[in-house]
Amino acid sequence: DAGVIQSPRHEVTEMGQEVTLRCKPISGHDYLFWYRQTMMRGLELLIYFNNNVPIDDSGMPEDRFSAKMPNASFSTLKIQPSEPRDSAVYFCASRGLAGGPHNEQFFGPGTRLTVL
């Protein structure tokens, strides 16, 4: 398995532009998590899905952020309009069935977003 795939790996955009980050979880995993990592705030959970359904979006900072999971193999995180303070590394992670022996999360390589 290729692991969790994220695209793009790097994104540089100007303030006010729409940004879309993409994630393909590991096949068969039914949980998907979006995180944001900054030096100031560390690793923050933004939202997570179970079986394509958003379960907890309490970490989404503002209405400018939205996330979707149209099917089991694809999710997007959209920022519209983007602001310089959104600059961070965004990670997607997936996890297998709850109740199993391990609930470790598998992380993608991240998307480094720079908003000018």
The residues of the shown chain that bind other proteins, judged by CB under 8 A, are 4, 31, 42-43, 45, 48, 50, 55-56, 91, 93, 95, 98, 102-110
Output the smallest distance, CB 93 to other proteins, in A.
Answer: 8
The smaller minimum CB distance to other proteins, of residues 16 and 61, is found at 61
CB of 16 to other proteins, least distance (A): 28
Please list, in sequence order, all residues whose beta carbon lies within 8 angstroms of the beta carbon of residue 79, skipping any fewer than 6 positions away. 18, 19, 64, 65, 86, 113
Nearest approach in angstroms of CB 45 to other proteins is 6
CB nearer other proteins, residue 35 or residue 65: 35
Q: Which residues of 19-48 are buried (b: 16+ CB within 10 A; e: fewer)?
A: bebbbbbbeebebbbbbbeeeeeeeebbbb
